[in-house]
């Protein structure tokens, strides 16, 4: 049986410059949107994260021709011969973002068959907002156990008022509306930066989309959309991870492509901690110089432009070593504090009441064997490991691989002692220093 883990040693004072790959939460939905067109689209700055490969498999199963030049991060998707509208349960179950093909398939074929994408550790993650709003647009939905069959009766342009600004539901409805005759309005839409990158792609394809304050998206349906070329927006979540790596180790990092314009509240909280932040012209590019005496800050996750839920776990790691108490409230997902248990194993002082974590800063964390529970929890544990005394072994590395493209290599270039290990059969006790495992990406600061 194979056993993979990240071996992380204390690496104080990370220092240097880092680049960013494209945002996972933009590229996945943009890949799905190619189903709205016939022909070959080309995307650059595409991350080699596992979810991207999963979406490639899904599109291929529908008849698309997909090629990914990993060396230069260029992905081409030809949808000329897409001839299926049903997605296998196996493919649906692998990734939440699979549900994002529903809107495009309904627009292309008038029907779509998927299975419920299932929940994960951070929550049940139902798709009721998606289905309810498809029905309001004239789609007939039939759910038989896990299988959802959607069929267009007669698509009608509608004003949809969302109860909650769901990112996925906004994206799914938006994509169907681009090819629905008439004016569709989404009131109380999600306007996350990744949704805006999707809108930029759809408009390049020929869609007619207007965003009206405070959060209404108006779509005028057109007859046809066309293949595009697009550079995926830089990943604000990868940028957040790199900034926090410098912050938690007392170092300094410069990220020339960082979309500061999409990270305002997060950056403001880092400044409240005492870290020095410099932002480049046009709010692109961020430099962080860590303070030697970080202050704990409190925050609550909410839809954009509020504090992003995807940076909650990584930011919590930084609070564990800050002076004072941080109160962190998670309001987007009902169970996104699973990483607390693992941080406590490392010596963090955290008390959870309902969906609020009370973090009291300590002087030191200690390396431990920890388990990643989701993508962003894996980032929190890596950050804590970089600051901890001793060695941290993080298993369930597949979460890390799903959300980041070899981020351990970028951290290594900043001086982090972090290595990916792969073992055919785990020993009784993991002693990475004696492990015969193939070591890759091990970076030692000279």
Query: Mind telling me the catalytic residues?
Result: 120
Instruction: Select 313 or 365, whichever has its Cβ closest to ligand EPZ.
Output: 313
Extract the tokens encoding 136. 């309001």
# binding residues, ligand EPZ (CB under 6 A)? 26
Cα angle at 366 between 295 and 431, to 5 degrees? 150
**Cα separations (Å) of 350 from 50, 123, 241, 293, 367?**
31, 21, 21, 20, 17
Q: Is 79 exposed, middle or buried (0-12, 13-18, 19+ CB in 10 A)?
A: buried
**Is there a contact between 299 and 270 (Cβ–Cβ < 8 Å)?**
no
Query: By CB under 6 A, is residue 97 in contact with ligand EPZ?
Result: yes
Q: Which of 40, 42, 125, 151 binds ligand EPZ (CB under 6 A)?
A: 125
Task: Give the Cα separation of 398 and 290 in Å (integer).
Answer: 30
CB 175 within 8 A of CB 107: yes
Which residues 278-317 are close enough to bind ligand EPZ by CB under 6 A? 309-310
- Applying CB under 6 A, among 128, 135, 142, 424 the residue interacting with ligand EPZ is 128
Mark residues 171-210: x for contact with ligand EPZ by CB under 6 A, - for none.
-------------------x-x------------------
Is residue 436 exposed (0-12), middle (13-18) or buried (19+ Cβ within 10 Å)? exposed
Position among 50, 73, 96, 421 found at the interface with ligand EPZ (CB under 6 A): 96
Residue among 130, 254, 339, 421 that touches ligand EPZ (CB under 6 A): 130
Query: In this chain, which stretch among 152-160, 163-171, 408-416, 434-442 interacts with ligand EPZ, using CB under 6 A?
Result: 163-171
Name the minimum Å distance from CB 384 to ligand EPZ.
18
Q: Which stretch binds ligand EPZ (CB under 6 A): 104-112, 118-126, 176-184, 361-369?
A: 118-126
Q: Which long-range contacts (CB under 8 A, 24 or more apart) does 423-430 make?
A: 423/2, 423/3, 423/4, 424/1, 424/2, 424/3, 425/1, 425/3, 426/1, 426/3, 430/5, 430/369, 430/393
Residue nearest to ligand EPZ (CB): 168
Contact pick of 167, 225, 242, 394 for ligand EPZ (by CB under 6 A): 167
Nearer to ligand EPZ, 232 or 437 (CB): 232
Instruction: Indicate the residue among 20 and 28 with the shorter CB distance to ligand EPZ.
Output: 28
Q: Of 351-410, which residues contact ligand EPZ (CB under 6 A)?
A: 375-376, 403
Phi-psi region of 265 (alpha: psi -120 to 50; beta: other; left: phi over 0): alpha
Closest Cα to residue 378, out of 308, 430, 314? 314
Helices (H), 372-420: 375-387, 397-403, 407-413
- Region of 35-43, 59-67, 127-135, 356-364 interacting with ligand EPZ (CB under 6 A): 127-135
Q: Does residue 160 belong to the site contacting ligand EPZ (CB under 6 A)?
A: no
Q: Helix (H, G, I), strand (E, B), or coil: what is residue 381? A: helix
Of residues 311 and 368, the one with the C-beta less far from ligand EPZ: 311
Contact (Cβ atoms closer than 8 angstroms) between residue 236 and residue 255: no
If residue 200 lies in a helix (H) or strand (E), which one and from where to where? helix 193-205
Q: Does 126 bind ligand EPZ (CB under 6 A)?
A: yes
Tell me which residues in 318-357 interact with ligand EPZ (CB under 6 A): 332-333
Positions touching ligand EPZ (CB under 6 A) are 24-25, 28, 96-97, 123, 125-130, 164, 166-169, 190, 192, 309-310, 332-333, 375-376, 403
């Amino acid at each position: 049986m194979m056993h993979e883990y990240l071996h992380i040693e204390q690496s104080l004072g990370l220092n240097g410059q880092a680049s960013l790959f494209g945002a996972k939460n933009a590229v996945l939905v943009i890949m799905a949107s190619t189903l709205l067109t016939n022909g070959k689209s080309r995307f650059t700055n595409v991350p080699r994260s596992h979810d991207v490969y999963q979406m490639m498999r899904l599109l291929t199963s529908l008849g698309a021709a997909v090629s990914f030049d990993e060396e230069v991060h260029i992905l081409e998707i030809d949808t000329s011969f897409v001839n299926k509208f049903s997605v296998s349960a196996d493919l649906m179950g692998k990734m939440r973002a699979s549900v994002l093909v529903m809107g495009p398939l309904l627009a292309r074929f008038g029907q779509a068959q998927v299975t419920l994408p299932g929940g994960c550790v951070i929550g049940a993650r139902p798709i009721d907002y998606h289905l309810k709003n498809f029905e309001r647009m004239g789609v007939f939905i039939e759910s038989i156990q896990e299988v959802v069959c959607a069929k267009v009766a007669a698509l009608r342009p509608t004003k949809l008022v969302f109860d909650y600004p769901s990112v996925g539901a906004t994206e799914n409805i938006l994509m169907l509306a681009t090819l629905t005759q008439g004016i569709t309005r989404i009131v109380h839409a999600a306007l996350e930066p990744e949704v805006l990158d999707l809108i930029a792609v759809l408009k390049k394809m020929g869609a007619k989309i207007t965003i009206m304050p405070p959060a209404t998206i108006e779509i005028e349906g057109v007859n046809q959309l066309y293949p595009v070329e697009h550079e995926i927006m830089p990943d604000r979540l990868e940028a957040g991870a790199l900034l926090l790596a410098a912050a938690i180790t007392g170092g300094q990092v410069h990220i020339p492509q960082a979309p500061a314009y999409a990270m305002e509240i997060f950056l403001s909280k880092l400044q409240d901690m005492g870290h020095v932040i410099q932002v480049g012209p046009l709010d692109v590019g961020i430099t962080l110089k860590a303070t030697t005496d970080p202050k704990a800050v409190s925050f609550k996750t909410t839809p954009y432009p509020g504090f992003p839920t995807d940076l909650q776990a990584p930011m919590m790691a930084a609070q564990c070593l800050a002076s004072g108490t941080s109160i962190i409230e998670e309001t987007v997902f009902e169970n996104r504090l699973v990483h607390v248990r693992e941080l406590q194993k490392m010596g963090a002082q955290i008390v959870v009441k309902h969906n609020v974590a009370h973090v009291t800063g300590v002087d030191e964390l200690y390396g431990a064997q920890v388990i990643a529970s989701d993508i962003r929890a894996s980032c929190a544990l890596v950050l804590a490991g970089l600051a901890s005394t001793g060695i941290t072994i993080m298993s369930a590395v597949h979460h890390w691989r799903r959300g980041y493209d070899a981020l351990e290599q970028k951290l290594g270039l900043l001086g982090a002692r972090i290595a990916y290990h792969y073992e055919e059969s785990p020993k009784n006790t993991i002693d990475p220093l004696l492990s015969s495992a193939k070591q890759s990406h091990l970076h030692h600061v000279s």
